[in-house]
Structure formats: structure tokens, C-alpha cells
């Protein structure tokens, strides 16, 4: 059986072995695949793996032999799931593989905004400290996190992990989730106080987003919601870029209503030159790397190969179609 990986470079630029897939069939790996190349590369192929190569209906209906699409990610919006379901195409994803790394990035952004480590390191290397009269200097205000309130919008495994780290830093943690909060959840995360959305907006010094991208969360953080927040609030987004109305957030950063933004995701990636966040003050932007540590990608590779092995054995797991 032939297994085709359409865009393997991001997951594996050469530091991880494809061996788990090689054991399952004849493996062909392409670093990148342009939309015009999909049909030739998947001609007669029943199994493929994709990260960002898209499979809308107009593509899927021209690939009658395709029976399995393994998404090399948690998100699976690159595939028309409704069409896949109707035509018996199994689509799988990789749930929860990046829990630890994404929580780590969330805290890293919070700490960078609080302590401005990178900025001060740059100043030291630029010679500012060598010319300073005093034994220390700081450029801009620094923030102690102890006693600050962290609000988590969305509360799954990543947010739960973030809450434990934040609590260890002495922060008060609030969380809001759209689905019911069970007694088991309260017992598992006693450091968290669950509140409604309006309370979260009003009381949080730092707001961190950990929600899926849905119709309800697209453009969630707009002018109306920002007006409900504390003056000088800090926003952190490691979920999905379109959760923020970027024009609204940029205006609030300029006015000072939002003191700073730390984001690992934006609405269109790679980021476009006209993205308003690029010219807004106090923005800390990273290029969607929360998932990218070696250990995290190796875990992804392992789960993806297990997904395919389960499908081939007749008992598919992590099916989203």
C-alpha cells in the first residue's frame, strides 16, 4: 500500500524518523505540495497525510480512490468533513499532543510581557548596560505576577495545565467554558474559580484564550468585548488567530486599553504585511511555534502512525469524519 505525505517538512524538517510509517507501507514524502500537484500525487492513492494541504469538496470529488486522510494536527478544518463522512472517507486528527508545549508557550508569553527578558537582553548586547552608571537598569515597567488575576477563556487540558503553572506563580485563576462545569472538573482543578464570561472580562488582569475556532468564537474579542475589560489588560492567544478581531485589538493597544498582546497565532498565516498587529505597540508575536518542540513533534508522529495502523487493522481511532 502506498502512503503519501503531502507536506511533511513542517512536522519533520529532518530531525525525526518516518520509520513508523515505513513499517505500514510504501511511504512517499513530499516537503510541500501545491494545490495543482495534489491530483497527480494522489492518483490511485487510498491513504494520505496532510498538515495544511486543503481538501475541499471540489478536490475530494476528483479523488475517488482516497479512503483515508490523516491530519498531522489537532485541527482538521483543511478537510471538508461533511463530504468525507458522506463518501466514507476516514479522517483522523491528533488530539492533545501539544498540551504541555502550548501551556509552556502561554506562560512564556506572559513572562516575556511581565519581565521583558528578550528586550533587556538585546539592550545589554547593544552596550546599554556597559555605559550605565548604576549596577542595573530597566527599560519600561516590569510586572510581578504574584496576586494578579489570570482569566482563561476555554478550559480544556491546555488551560488546565496553564492554570496549575499560574497558580504556582501565585496568580488567582478564573476560567470560563461554554459547556457545563462538572464536580469532577472542580475537584481536578481546585485552584480555578469558574465564572461567566462577563466576570472573566471584568476581573482579569491577563486574559488567555484556549478555545476552538467556531462560528461563536470567530472575532470574539471585538470592540464590544474589549470595552468590558480592565484598562491595561494583557491578552494572550495561543488558540486560533481569528478568535481576535485584530483591527479592534490593534486600536485598543494603541489607545492603551490593552497594555500588551502575546500571540503565537494570527488570522492569516504566514502573517501578512498589512496585519494591523505588526504596527501596534506592545505586541509580542511568535510564528505559530507552540507545537514545534522536538518532543512534541515526535509525539505527533507517533500518534499519527498509530492512527493509520488502527485504520489498517479495521478499528480506526481519533476519527473526526
> Tell me: the pLDDT tens digits for 110-157?
999 999 999 999 999 999 999 999 999 999 999 999 999 999 999 999
Question: Please, which residues have CB within 8 angstroms of residue 138's CB and are 6 or more apart in sequence?
Answer: 116, 120
Q: What pLDDT is recorded for position 2?
A: 96
The predicted pLDDT at position 92 comes to: 98
pLDDT of residue 75 exceeding 90, the answer is no
CB within 8 Å of 228: residues ≥ 6 apart: 198, 201, 202
CB neighbours of residue 306 within 10 Å: 15
Average pLDDT over residues 79-95: 97
CA distances from 41 to 111, 123, 160, 207, 297 (A): 45, 50, 41, 44, 25
Q: What percent of the chain clears pLDDT 90, i.e. is strictly above it?
A: 95
**pLDDT confidence band for 254 (50 / 70 / 90):** very high
Q: What does the pLDDT look like over 12-22, one tens digit per residue?
A: 999 999 999 99
Q: Which residues make Cβ contacts (< 8 Å) with residue 56, sequence separation at least 6?
A: 80
Residues taking part in catalysis: 240, 269, 288
Average pLDDT over residues 198-224: 96
- Average pLDDT over every residue of 58-82: 95
**Among 57, 134, 110, which residue's Cα sits nearest to residue 259?**
110
CA pseudo-torsion sign 248, 249, 255, 257: positive
For residue 181, pLDDT over 90 is answered with no
| Angstrom distances, CA of residue 195 to CA of 175, 192, 239, 300 | 6, 9, 20, 33
For range 294-305, the mean pLDDT: 97
List pLDDT tens digits, range 36-56. Answer: 999 999 999 999 999 999 999
Predicted local distance difference test score (pLDDT) of residue 55: 97
Structural domains of the chain in order of their starting residue, each with its CATH number? 2-93+294-312 (3.40.50.720), 99-281 (3.40.50.720)
pLDDT in tens, 278-293: 999 999 999 999 999 9
C-alpha cell at 32: 510541500
**Contact 54/294 with Cβ under 8 angstroms?**
no
Classify the phi-psi angles of 305: left when phi > 0, otherwise alpha if psi is within -120 to 50, otherwise beta: alpha
Burial of 8 (0-12, 13-18, 19+ CB in 10 A): buried
Element (H, E) at 161: helix 157-168
Q: What is the mean pLDDT of the chain?
A: 96
Is the pLDDT at 178 greater than 90, yes or no? no
Amino acid at each position: 500500500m502506498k502512503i503519501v505525505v503531502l507536506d511533511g517538512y513542517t512536522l519533520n524538517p529532518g530531525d525525526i524518523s518516518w520509520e513508523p510509517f515505513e513499517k505500514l507501507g510504501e511511504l512517499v514524502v513530499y516537503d510541500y505540495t501545491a494545490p495543482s500537484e495534489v491530483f497527480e500525487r494522489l492518483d490511485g492513492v487510498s491513504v494520505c497525510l496532510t498538515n495544511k494541504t486543503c481538501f475541499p469538496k471540489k478536490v475530494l470529488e476528483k479523488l475517488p480512490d482516497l479512503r483515508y486522510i490523516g491530519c498531522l494536527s489537532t485541527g482538521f478544518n483543511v478537510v471538508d468533513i461533511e463530504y468525507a463522512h458522506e463518501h466514507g472517507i476516514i479522517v483522523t486528527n491528533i488530539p492533545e499532543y501539544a498540551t504541555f508545549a502550548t501551556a509552556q508557550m502561554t506562560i512564556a508569553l506572559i513572562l516575556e510581557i511581565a519581565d521583558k527578558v528578550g528586550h533587556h537582553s538585546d539592550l545589554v548586547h547593544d552596550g546599554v548596560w556597559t555605559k550605565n552608571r548604576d549596577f542595573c537598569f530597566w527599560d519600561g515597567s516590569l510586572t510581578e505576577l504574584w496576586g494578579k488575576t489570570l482569566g482563561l477563556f476555554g478550559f480544556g487540558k491546555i488551560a488546565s495545565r496553564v492554570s496549575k503553572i499560574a497558580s504556582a506563580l501565585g496568580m488567582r485563576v478564573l476560567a470560563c467554558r461554554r459547556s457545563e462545569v462538572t464536580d469532577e472538573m472542580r475537584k481536578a482543578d481546585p485552584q480555578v474559580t469558574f465564572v461567566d464570561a462577563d466576570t472573566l472580562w471584568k476581573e482579569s488582569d491577563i486574559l488567555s484564550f484556549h478555545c476552538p475556532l467556531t462560528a461563536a468564537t470567530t472575532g470574539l474579542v471585538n470592540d464590544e468585548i474589549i470595552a468590558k475589560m480592565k484598562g491595561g489588560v494583557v491578552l494572550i492567544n495561543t488558540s486560533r488567530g481569528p478568535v481576535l478581531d485584530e483591527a479592534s485589538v490593534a486600536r485598543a493597544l494603541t489607545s492603551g486599553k490593552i497594555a500588551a498582546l502575546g500571540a503565537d497565532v494570527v488570522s492569516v498565516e504566514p502573517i501578512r504585511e498589512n496585519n494591523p498587529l505588526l504596527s501596534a505597540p506592545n505586541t509580542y508575536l511568535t510564528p505559530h511555534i507552540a507545537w514545534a518542540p522536538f518532543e512534541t513533534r515526535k509525539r505527533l508522529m507517533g500518534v499519527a502512525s498509530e492512527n493509520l495502523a488502527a485504520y489498517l487493522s479495521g478499528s480506526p481511532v481519533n476519527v473526526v469524519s
